[in-house]
Structure 1
Amino acid sequence: MLASALLILLGGFFFGQLVKRLGAPPLVGMIAAGVLLGPQGLDLLGSAVLGSAEALRTVAVMVILMKAGLGLDRQKLKEQGTVAARLGFLPAACEAVVVALAARYLFGFDLLTGLLLGVILSAESPAVIVPGMLRLKSLGWGVQKGVPDAIMTGSALSDVLVLLLFSLLLGFAGGEGAHGLTLGALTLTPLQALPLRVLVEILLGLAVGWLAARLTVHLLVKQNWTESAVQDVIVTASLALALVLGATAWPVYSGYLAVMAMGFFLVLYSAPFARRVRGEFDGLWTVAEIVLFVLLGATVDLSVLGSVLLPGLALLAVGLLVGRMLGWLLSTWGSNWTWGERLFLLPGNMAKATVQAAIGALPLAAGVAGGEVILALSALAILVTAPLGAWLTQLTAPLLLQKGEVDPTKVAVATQALILAAVDTSSLADEVLRKAAALARQSDGKVTVLHVAEDTSPAALEALSARVTQNLLDVRHRFVTAAGPTAEAILREAEALNATEVVVGKRGHRPAWQVPIGSVSQALLERSTLPLIVVEGAAEAPRRVGVFRARRGRP
């Protein structure tokens, strides 16, 4: 068990990084690592790990859906609410119908079996789509119109429809029939009851997520039952996992939708708490992502692909390019989306993985004619669309989407803190270095220490370098020198490094906002567009720190 876990984590990480360096999404390498380590390859993973693959995938999907809920933008969803709702139903429905019709000619399926195949292949994978959309949000692509939010919400709603249709069609195809619904004197057939069941699952999923969020905020924020962010995320993740497991035991609501709703309502009821647990869930996803996609690759059956490869690829292409494209056009009809944003739905919404892995083998187990072909096509859909969709999403976003300002209250900004600390050879340098070190420790950032050298002797530079090492011993840092006027050199270096903030020192006993005209600090305050932290020396007065954010050349 431990050896298998070690192989999954290290193999998934290094294969993912290798593929990332080649320009493709890391998950492609993780899936490849799973194929290599699993029964289709070297068969190095223990049966206990493979047997628990479904449970581990459930945990990983819960983590990414909670991250999605914590990152949803209420205002953007309000603006694009109808588009998100239509994306939850129309693309999957159109693709299922087109696949069913094409399967009659490519595989000789009857209409019922074709629809069963179409429903399986039309399911979207939040585990692949959501990480890509969160990355785009962190970079600002499509955020002005809420394109990533609409896609994430649509993918969660889509799975509600797909799973209900699948259970209905499987009952008919397996010869067991399907259960209708009786409401007093009114009896509905299974097909007539389907819209009502979809609506009930969605509404109950939202309600359960709302109740979980209220309970979490009451216990952890108002009652202070926890003492650290780690305890916060343990309780929050446990409640979210309980929602998913509860939906399995009592399938009257959508567990995945409930988890996403829980994250969304946490932001509404306690934004500081949501920000705190969002950072912890980012850490959980680092591990969960590797486990999810390595096990996905390990459990895909490659042996069944040979006989269906070429017609299967044709079927996937027809379903995506005809069925889904029609659904995407209908979903965005009458909206303010540009044609580029509509075209982005092709790569952004095409990935298939978790649902196909979960239900692809059920028709074969139920004795449905053609079940082995359905299983093979499910595996093919995973291997083709998951890596291709993830790769094309990142490749086409800069070409098709508009870039807007990132909202750090909704999603982690995809930048690392890089602090520029400007020092001289006086005793004030230690104060500046200690402040820069404290900021770097808080944000796990890097520090570049700059000394503008004029007539500094080699011995003084060596002594200053030793002080830098002493103060920044546990922080990633480097020491550089520059020439020229001091203020200009600091601004030039900050721009070249793309620094996130600048720390400088000021001698004197007056407050930092009363620095003398002509000083380095004053020049930086007037000209810097970056956050500027001015540290006052401890020798002349009690140490104070002034923080300024200069904009458009004004302090």
Structure 2
Amino acid sequence: MIAGILWILVMGFFVGQIARRLGAPSLMGTILVGIVLGPQLGNIIDESILNNADELRTIAVMAILMKAGLGLDREKLAKQGTVALRLGILPAFTEAITIAIAAMVLFDFNWMTGLLLGCIIGAESPAVIVPGMLRLKSKGWGVAKGIPDAILTGSALSDVFLLLLFSLLLNFLSQGQLDRLSLPFGIELTALQLLPFQVISEIVLGVAIGYFAARLLVVLLVGQKWTQNQTQEMLLAACLALFLVIFANRWPHFSGYLAAMAMGFFLVELDAPLARRLRLGFDSLWTIAEIFLFVLMGASIQIAVLEKTLLPGLLLLAIGLSVGRMMGWYLSTMGSNWNWRERLFLLPGNSAKATVQAAIGAIPLAAGIDGGETILAIAALSILVTAPLGAWAIPTFAPKLLEKGAIDPTKVTVATRTTFLAAVDTSPLAPAVLTKTADLARRSNARAIVLHVVGEDRPQQVEELRQVARRWLSDIEHEFFTVNGAAAEAIVQLARDFRVTAIVLGKRGHQPWENVLVGSVSRAVLETSEIPAIVVEDESRGVSDFRF
């Protein structure tokens, strides 16, 4: 089992990175690894891992839903009005109906079996859509109108709706009749008639439970301070989110996925600093979970069955997407402030299939439903076609179809590297400046730029200064630069070129005859630089014994 996990992690990572360097989505590489390592070809993955694939997928989906919730923007969602709600129902519903009709023609399915297939294929993949939308938010694409937020919310709601309909149809096809519920006054309702009430119940209860879970987490982590570091905070939050997902399987009156996503959303509203720390933790967790999710997806694909339904399956997917889903997109965005380019972006941004199809695609076959083998093959085909295509198309078409707006760093992790510029000379202040720079860099996992403005220094002094910088910054990623010219101008210019976070420099005095970075230089930097500067004062302790 441990060897299988190592194969998944190592091969999944490296092949995924190779795919990324070739210009393809990394998940294409990880899915390919799953096919090669799985029982269809290499049979390297241990059977115990494959038997527990559903549980491992649940952990991965929990991580991505928490990331989605922590990245939602309440103000942007409020501006969209009913667009997000309509995106949660109409595209999935129209695609499911269209696929059901097409399956009756292409595969000779009956109406109920075709609709069962439509529910599987119509579901959207949080594993592809959530990272894609959060990446757009971190770069500002479509954020002014809240387009990524609307797609994220709609994706979660659509899965709630289709999973409920799927379970209802599966029940009917297995038992041959719909369950009936007797109410007071002699009223009887079938499961189909109860479906709208079940959808509303799952959504309302899911949001409510997510809210109370977020409140509980804030009380434990902020009010009672039960944890001592960020890792413990993330561990407790992940356990609570996973409990919501698992408990929903035992008590199926609320959506566990929606509850996990709602918990992340309300954490941002209740305690933004805690949400920011958790966002960083779930970013790291997703790095590992993503590999497991897509490798196990690849391992579950049955190549032999896939070959039999390749061409009609591709035709079915094309009909569902180009007719059913596009009709739903049009109806969802009617009356909104989206222009035609932004509506067109829904084609790459809201059509990826992966997670739900991997989770429920094999259930009809296991339940003995006629056509179950074909349903599984089309579910696998939808993953192979739409997941890589969606992961590639989202970042590719967003700059062409969406407008770029201001990034809100309180909702997403903005990928910027912290850099400090240490301006040093051959005076005894150099170790103090380097010590301060190293301390700041270690606190924020930053890199350092060391700058020495060459005056009348001898080459031996410059080399000694380079060795001192190497010693004090030995565990910090750093570069050493020497330039000629006016000290203050050179410091400010290099800081701009490297877009540093802050400048660290020394201030020893105001005597113009001293050939060091004296007060006049530090004062000039403070007056001319728009980048914050940290000035290290001349103190005897720790620096007086340093000489070149």
Offset of residue 402 of structure 1:
1.8
Q: Which amino acid aligns with 2:47?
A: S
**Residue aligning to 1:143:** 143
**Residue aligning to 1:228:** 229
**1:339-488, aligned counterparts within 5 Å?**
339-488=340-489
TM-score, normalization by structure 1 = 0.92
Q: Structure 1 residues 340 and 527, CA, compared in 2 at 3 Å: closer, same or farther?
A: farther
More deviation in 517-526 or 1-10? 517-526
Taking the aligned partners of 2:518 and 2:45, their CA distance within structure 1 comes to: 69
**Residue aligning to 1:198:** 199
3-state SS of paired residue (1:449): strand
Taking the aligned partners of 1:64 and 1:255, their CA distance within structure 2 comes to: 13
Offset of residue 535 of structure 1:
2.8
Taking the aligned partners of 2:149 and 2:202, their CA distance within structure 1 comes to: 21
Taking the aligned partners of 1:530 and 1:335, their CA distance within structure 2 comes to: 41
CA deviations 1:444-491 (Å, max 9, x no partner) are 121121222233321011111011111111111111122232233233
Taking the aligned partners of 2:255 and 2:360, their CA distance within structure 1 comes to: 16
**Residue aligning to 1:545:** none
Q: Structure 1 residues 318 and 528, CA, compared in 2 at 3 Å: closer, same or farther?
A: farther
Taking the aligned partners of 1:539 and 1:147, their CA distance within structure 2 comes to: 58
**Residue aligning to 1:62:** 62
**Residue aligning to 1:98:** 98
**Residue aligning to 2:308:** 307
More deviation in 418-427 or 111-120? 418-427
**Residue aligning to 1:76:** 76
More deviation in 118-127 or 143-152? 143-152
**Residue aligning to 1:189:** 190
Taking the aligned partners of 1:180 and 1:455, their CA distance within structure 2 comes to: 93
Taking the aligned partners of 2:315 and 2:531, their CA distance within structure 1 comes to: 53
CA contact (8 A) 2:73 2:411 kept: yes
Taking the aligned partners of 1:508 and 1:383, their CA distance within structure 2 comes to: 67
Taking the aligned partners of 1:322 and 1:479, their CA distance within structure 2 comes to: 60
**1:242-257, aligned counterparts within 5 Å?**
242-257=243-258
Offset of residue 539 of structure 1:
4.0
Taking the aligned partners of 2:209 and 2:271, their CA distance within structure 1 comes to: 18
Taking the aligned partners of 1:484 and 1:83, their CA distance within structure 2 comes to: 59
3-state SS of paired residue (1:115): helix
**1:120-199, aligned counterparts within 5 Å?**
120-185=120-185, 186-199=187-200
Taking the aligned partners of 2:82 and 2:523, their CA distance within structure 1 comes to: 52
Q: Which amino acid aligns with 2:150?
A: A
CA contact (8 A) 1:508 1:540 kept: no
More deviation in 488-497 or 85-94? 488-497
More deviation in 182-191 or 455-464? 182-191
**Residue aligning to 1:513:** none
Taking the aligned partners of 1:146 and 1:135, their CA distance within structure 2 comes to: 14
Offset of residue 356 of structure 1:
0.7
TM-score, normalization by structure 2 = 0.94
Offset of residue 521 of structure 1:
3.2
Q: Structure 1 residues 98 and 211, CA, compared in 2 at 3 Å: closer, same or farther?
A: same
Taking the aligned partners of 2:433 and 2:148, their CA distance within structure 1 comes to: 41
CA contact (8 A) 1:525 1:532 kept: yes
CA contact (8 A) 1:62 1:259 kept: yes
Taking the aligned partners of 2:529 and 2:518, their CA distance within structure 1 comes to: 15
Taking the aligned partners of 2:523 and 2:343, their CA distance within structure 1 comes to: 49
Taking the aligned partners of 1:161 and 1:410, their CA distance within structure 2 comes to: 27
3-state SS of paired residue (1:519): helix
Offset of residue 43 of structure 1:
1.2
CA contact (8 A) 1:11 1:33 kept: yes
More deviation in 264-273 or 495-504? 495-504
Offset of residue 143 of structure 1:
1.7
Q: Structure 1 residues 505 and 140, CA, compared in 2 at 3 Å: closer, same or farther?
A: farther
**Residue aligning to 2:514:** none
Taking the aligned partners of 1:375 and 1:312, their CA distance within structure 2 comes to: 11
Taking the aligned partners of 2:143 and 2:87, their CA distance within structure 1 comes to: 17
Taking the aligned partners of 2:439 and 2:141, their CA distance within structure 1 comes to: 32
CA contact (8 A) 2:138 2:415 kept: yes
Q: Structure 1 residues 456 and 258, CA, compared in 2 at 3 Å: closer, same or farther?
A: same
Taking the aligned partners of 2:509 and 2:214, their CA distance within structure 1 comes to: 51
Offset of residue 81 of structure 1:
4.0
More deviation in 409-418 or 458-467? 409-418
Q: Which amino acid aligns with 2:109?
A: F
Percent of residue pairs bearing the same amino acid type: 60
**Residue aligning to 1:22:** 22
Taking the aligned partners of 1:48 and 1:201, their CA distance within structure 2 comes to: 33
**1:286-305, aligned counterparts within 5 Å?**
286-305=287-306
Q: Structure 1 residues 496 and 509, CA, compared in 2 at 3 Å: closer, same or farther?
A: closer
Q: Structure 1 residues 339 and 485, CA, compared in 2 at 3 Å: closer, same or farther?
A: farther
Q: Which amino acid aligns with 1:454?
A: G
What are structure 1's unaligned runs of at least 5 residues? 511-515, 543-555
Pair 1:7-2:7 in alignment: yes
What are structure 2's unaligned runs of at least 5 residues? 512-516, 544-548
Taking the aligned partners of 2:165 and 2:7, their CA distance within structure 1 comes to: 38
Taking the aligned partners of 1:487 and 1:91, their CA distance within structure 2 comes to: 60
CA contact (8 A) 2:170 2:364 kept: yes
CA contact (8 A) 2:12 2:291 kept: yes
More deviation in 299-308 or 170-179? 170-179
CA contact (8 A) 2:201 2:254 kept: yes
More deviation in 184-193 or 37-46? 184-193
Taking the aligned partners of 1:293 and 1:9, their CA distance within structure 2 comes to: 11
**Residue aligning to 1:496:** 497
Taking the aligned partners of 2:510 and 2:58, their CA distance within structure 1 comes to: 60
More deviation in 530-539 or 52-61? 530-539
Offset of residue 404 of structure 1:
2.0
More deviation in 99-108 or 464-473? 99-108
